[in-house]
């Protein structure tokens, strides 16, 4: 069996270690380093690579994908970009295609793309032969700084988001920050909303540095990306070091996600691939959470204003997309995947709320509380209106 030791010839790549429970995952990153990444993957000794990407990336980064597959026989699996990749039908088709191509237990599944190809690839790697090696090559900021910093691998059900999944550790993560240069501005900015979540919910001491990055108006410089990556790893490790499966302290990483996922689903149902990016939806979800906390007397005016400052600084318009109705969002929220962590209550869902920046409210040891659908509706109606001034925090 090929060794799982990280490639020793990565002198041109910087490295960090992601610690999640008992798992330690090497994370390598650099600039213009796709050739080194290809050599590193080949050094694991795979007999075949299964490269999972989407149609858009397969065209945009054809040269990079060709370089990754140059030294090892490869099968490239693509699908139209978007949430339609995170379905049982796509998963089944990809698994069958990989098996028909003759993969074995020595093969490696490589995700090349954002969070959607990454989740699909992660679930594939876990299912094939009860587990083959997985390597992530993220091409978006949201994947590089959030989704690959987790063991969670999931696809959507017909009912809601991320209902079907598992936990599976990658062998390694490799990031070439030059791949971010092709991201549209809105995707680059929205990808940093997960980092904003980390600052607001976990490490408010990092807010000043995040403000400096926002003020520079150039998120893609290597120095800014290095700090954002380091800060993301530090925040994740702080809450997952003793919570491998993110079912305890790691649940704080769900800040903004209950409503954010619902907004994302509703907008993509209405507008397809033109729907808002994941990070933008999470940012709107954080504003809703902030308004609920403020209405409960927990967050101050200034703390809610900080939410608006950071979210709008990242280029997010603090208003629901025109195609999204409050009633539709509430219907999706009722089937959120955090159901079951707390005892069921009628007309209420488990929710991450802050008592102060960096201080989630707890139920027992869990950073979750019951929030009524009425509270959620009232907060949604604030951002369903035209742009809300940062100081207009009443609900």
The dihedral region occupied by 131, where left means phi > 0, alpha psi between -120 and 50, and beta the remainder, is left
Rounded CA separation 63/249 (Å): 41
Q: What is the DSSP string of 278-347?
A: HHHHHHHHHHHHHHHHHHTT-S-HHHHHHHHHHHHHTT--SS--TT--HHHHHHHHTT-TTTTSS---TT
On whether the CB atoms of residues 24 and 50 are closer than 8 A, the answer is no
6: DSSP letter:
P
Rounded CA separation 369/353 (Å): 7
Structure tokens of 103?
């993969």
Which of 86, 152, 161, 236 is the catalytic position? 152
* Residues whose CB falls within 8 Å of the CB of residue 331, separated by 6 or more in sequence, listed in order: none
Rounded CA separation 133/131 (Å): 7
The yes-or-no answer on residue 152 being catalytic is yes
Vertex 370: Cα angle to 167 and 161 (nearest 5): 40
Closest CA to 263 of 193, 325, 356: 325
143: DSSP letter:
I
The dihedral region occupied by 45, where left means phi > 0, alpha psi between -120 and 50, and beta the remainder, is left
Which of 64, 254, 264, 375 is the catalytic position? 254
> Quick check: helix, strand or coil at residue 32?
coil
Rounded CA separation 304/293 (Å): 9
On whether the CB atoms of residues 172 and 6 are closer than 8 A, the answer is yes
> Quick check: helix, strand or coil at residue 82?
coil
Closest CA to 261 of 308, 345, 328, 166: 328
Rounded CA separation 66/74 (Å): 9
| Catalytic residue IDs | 152, 254
């Amino acid at each position: 069996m090929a060794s799982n030791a990280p490639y020793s010839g990565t002198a041109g790549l910087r490295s960090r270690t992601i610690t999640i429970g008992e798992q330690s995952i090497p994370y390598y990153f650099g600039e213009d380093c796709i050739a080194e990444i290809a050599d590193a993957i080949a050094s694991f000794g795979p007999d075949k690579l299964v490269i999972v990407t989407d149609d858009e990336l397969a065209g945009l980064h054809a040269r990079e994908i060709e370089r990754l597959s140059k030294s090892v026989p490869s099968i490239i699996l693509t699908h139209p970009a978007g949430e339609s990749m995170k379905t049982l039908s796509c998963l089944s088709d990809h698994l069958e295609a990989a098996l028909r191509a003759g993969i074995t237990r020595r093969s490696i599944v490589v995700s090349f793309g954002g969070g959607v190809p990454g989740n699909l690839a992660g679930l594939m790697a876990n299912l094939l032969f009860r587990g083959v090696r997985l390597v992530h090559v993220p091409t978006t900021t949201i994947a590089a700084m959030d989704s690959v910093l987790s063991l969670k691998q999931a696809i959507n059900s017909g009912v809601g988001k991320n209902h079907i999944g598992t936990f599976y550790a990658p062998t390694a993560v490799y990031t070439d920050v030059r791949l971010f240069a092709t991201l549209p501005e809105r995707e680059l900015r929205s990808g940093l909303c997960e980092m904003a979540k980390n600052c607001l919910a976990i490490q408010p001491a990092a807010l000043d540095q995040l403000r400096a990055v926002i003020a520079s108006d150039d998120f893609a410089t290597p120095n800014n990306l290095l700090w954002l990556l380091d800060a993301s790893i530090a925040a994740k490790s702080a809450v997952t070091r003793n919570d491998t499966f993110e079912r305890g302290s790691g649940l704080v990483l769900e800040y903004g996600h209950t409503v954010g996922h619902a907004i994302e689903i509703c907008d993509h149902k209405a507008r397809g691939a033109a729907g808002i990016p994941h990070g933008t939806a999470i940012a709107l979800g954080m504003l809703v959470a902030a308004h609920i906390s403020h209405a409960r007397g927990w967050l101050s005016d200034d703390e809610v204003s900080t939410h608006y400052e950071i979210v709008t600084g990242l280029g997010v318009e603090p208003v629901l997309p025109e195609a999204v109705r409050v009633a539709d969002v509430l219907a999706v929220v009722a089937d959120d995947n955090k159901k079951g962590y707390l005892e069921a209550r009628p007309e209420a869902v488990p929710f991450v709320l802050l008592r102060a920046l960096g201080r989630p409210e707890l139920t027992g040891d869990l950073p979750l509380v019951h929030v009524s659908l009425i509270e959620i509706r009232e907060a949604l109606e604030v951002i369903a209106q035209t742009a809300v001034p940062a100081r207009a925090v009443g609900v």
